[in-house]
């Protein structure tokens, strides 16, 4: 236990340093998740060997993963993206997945990869959790361009999560697996309906009154709901991340108004201030640096994957001809191609389930890290400076 105390201290120290380091470079600031991954690599077994990603440390990383997906679900406001933006986003993601599958099956036929479906899903992701604060800080989120991008990013996270729930599991027969999916979807829909009913009643006002006391009942209810759906997902043979994501969407439906804003702030503090940094730091500790120079072709692979990310997530701009100006399409593609968090998650799940080799996972994660600090910078420089034109 003594060693875990020291290891937890090093992780907590890395988490505290990350916000400072993320602000240091003035022109090319790294997103905080990329800094956390880099710090995890630095303190992990492959460099300083201060911390190992097992035991209690590994458990904390898994808790961070579930809370990250909970917060991603919480970010999605379907009232703002419903209608044409949502329809375009869904169609665009399926187009992205199709393009990715074509490229990955070609790579598979050439013997370059062994898991084309999983790699295709990883390439079709968009990092909503990374993009949302970037767009908010730049004043883009409330523009027409921002809402279209937000809907594309939301489906770019939801679609891959649903896809991996089918790819990485079946512990049961196909018929039983499908039945469990229907039951689980029914539970989520019932929870969502209950949430919409509760938000229009006086129950929310009563719950909000406890937000200033030691009871913190709304926060505890959110944790119970998240835990319940995570446990149900695991019991039904799905990956736990789909349960956490669904819990976030249900809470998003219920948390409206002033009380809801306060609840989100408290959940933000728990997630981004405590649990989520554990996931990214622990994921960095598992990152095998030696895989990057195991072959002279690795840099070429990373460059090819970066280009593929832009092609795969840029393909949907073909559907946006009537709603996007010509000079907005490339920034839209670059923002959409930003995909680190879910790439890390899918890679972690793929390696742990034996569906992906560790060296291929390392290349994918490295590509995601580069996309997170390169693509948003390029997109910002290509967008018109006046937000009124967006």
- The secondary structure of the chain, three-state, reads CHHHHHHHHHHHHHHHHHHHHHCCCCCCCCCHHHHHHHHHHHHCCCCCCCCCCCHHHHHHHHHHHHHHHHHHHHHCCHHHHCCHHHHHHHHHHHHHHHHHHHHHHHHHHCCCCCCHHHHHHHHCCCCHHHHHHHHHHCCCCCCHHHHHHHHHHHHHHHHHHHHHHHHCCCCCCHHHHHHHHHHHHHHHHHHHHHHHHHCCCCHHHHHHHHHHCCCCHHHHHHHHHHHHHHHHHHHCCCCHHHHHHHHHHHHHHHCCHHHHHHHHHHHHHHHHHHHHHHHHHHHHHCCCHHHHCCCCCHHHHHHHHHHHHHHHHHHHHHHHCCCCCHHHHHHHHHHHCCCHHHHHHHHHHHHHCCCCCHHHHHHHHHHHHHHHHHHHHHHHHHCCCCHHHC
Phi-psi region of 55 (alpha: psi -120 to 50; beta: other; left: phi over 0): left
What gap in Å lies between CA 84 and CA 323, rounded to an integer? 10
- The vertex-296 CA angle with 294 and 298, nearest 5°, equals 75
The pLDDT of residue 207:
66
Candidates 151, 149, 137, 103; CA nearest to 123 is: 103
Return the exposure string of 271-290: e unless at least 16 CB atoms fall within 10 Å of the residue's CB, then b.
Answer: bbeebbbbbbbbbbbbbbee
pLDDT tens for the 390 residues of the chain, in order: 555 678 889 999 999 998 888 777 666 667 787 788 889 989 988 888 888 888 888 888 888 888 888 887 887 776 766 778 888 889 999 999 999 999 989 988 887 777 788 888 888 988 876 777 777 767 777 788 888 888 888 888 888 877 876 666 555 566 776 777 788 888 888 887 777 776 655 666 666 666 777 778 888 888 998 998 888 887 777 767 778 888 888 888 877 766 677 788 888 889 888 998 998 898 888 777 776 777 778 888 888 889 999 999 989 998 988 888 888 889 999 999 988 777 877 887 777 777 777 777 888 888 888 887 788 888 888 887 765 566
**Cα torsion 108, 111, 115, 119: sign:** negative
What gap in Å lies between CA 31 and CA 226, rounded to an integer? 27
The pLDDT of residue 258:
63
**Contact, 131 vs 153, CB < 8 A?**
yes
The pLDDT of residue 93:
92
Candidates 160, 163, 130, 135; CA nearest to 147 is: 135
The pLDDT of residue 113:
78
Residue 206 φ then ψ, to 5°: -65, -40
The pLDDT of residue 257:
63
pLDDT tens digits, residue range 243-270? 888 888 888 887 776 667 778 888 888 9
The pLDDT of residue 200:
58
Domain ranges of the chain: 2-389
The pLDDT of residue 308:
92
The pLDDT of residue 91:
92
**Contact, 265 vs 219, CB < 8 A?**
no
Q: Which two tokens stand for residue 183?
A: 């039951």
Query: Please, what CATH class does the domain formed by 2-389 belong to?
Result: mainly alpha
């Amino acid at each position: 236990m003594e060693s875990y105390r020291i290891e937890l201290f090093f992780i907590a120290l890395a988490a505290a340093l990350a916000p400072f380091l993320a602000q240091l470079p003035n022109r090319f600031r790294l997103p905080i998740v990329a800094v956390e991954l880099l710090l995890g690599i630095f303190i992990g077994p492959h460099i300083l060997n201060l911390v190992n990603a097992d035991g209690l440390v590994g458990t904390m990383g898994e808790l961070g993963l579930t809370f990250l997906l909970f917060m991603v679900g919480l970010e999605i406001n379907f009232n703002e993206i419903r209608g044409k933006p949502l329809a375009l986003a869904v169609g665009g993601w399926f187009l992205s997945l199709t393009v990715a599958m074509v490229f990955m099956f070609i790579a598979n036929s050439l013997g370059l990869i062994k898991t084309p479906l999983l790699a295709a899903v990883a390439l079709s992701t968009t990092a909503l959790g990374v993009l949302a604060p970037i767009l908010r800080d730049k004043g883009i989120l409330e523009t027409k361009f921002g809402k279209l991008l937000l809907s594309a990013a939301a489906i770019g996270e939801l679609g891959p999560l649903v896809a991996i729930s089918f790819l990485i599991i079946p512990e049961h027969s196909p018929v039983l697996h499908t039945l469990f999916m229907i039951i689980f979807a029914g539970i989520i829909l019932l929870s969502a309906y209950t949430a919409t009913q509760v938000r229009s009643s006086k129950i929310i006002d009563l719950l909000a009154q406890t937000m200033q006391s030691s009871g913190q009942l709304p926060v505890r209810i959110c944790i119970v709901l998240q835990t319940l759906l995570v446990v149900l997902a695991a019991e039904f043979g799905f990956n736990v991340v789909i349960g956490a994501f669904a819990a976030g969407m249900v809470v998003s439906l219920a948390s409206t108004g002033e009380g809801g804003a306060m609840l989100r702030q408290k959940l933000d503090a728990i997630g981004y201030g405590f649990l989520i940094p554990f996931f990214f730091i622990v994921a960095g500790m598992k990152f095998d640096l030696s895989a990057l120079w195991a072959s002279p072709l690795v840099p070429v692979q990373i460059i090819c994957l970066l280009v593929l990310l832009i092609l795969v997530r840029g393909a949907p701009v073909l559907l946006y001809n009537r709603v996007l100006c010509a000079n907005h399409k490339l920034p839209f593609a670059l923002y959409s191609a930003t995909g680190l968090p879910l790439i890390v998650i899918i890679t972690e799940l793929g390696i742990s389930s034996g569906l992906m080799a560790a060296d291929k996972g390392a290349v994918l994660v490295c590509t995601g890290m580069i996309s997170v600090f390169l693509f948003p910078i390029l997109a910002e420089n290509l967008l018109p400076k006046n937000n009124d034109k967006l």
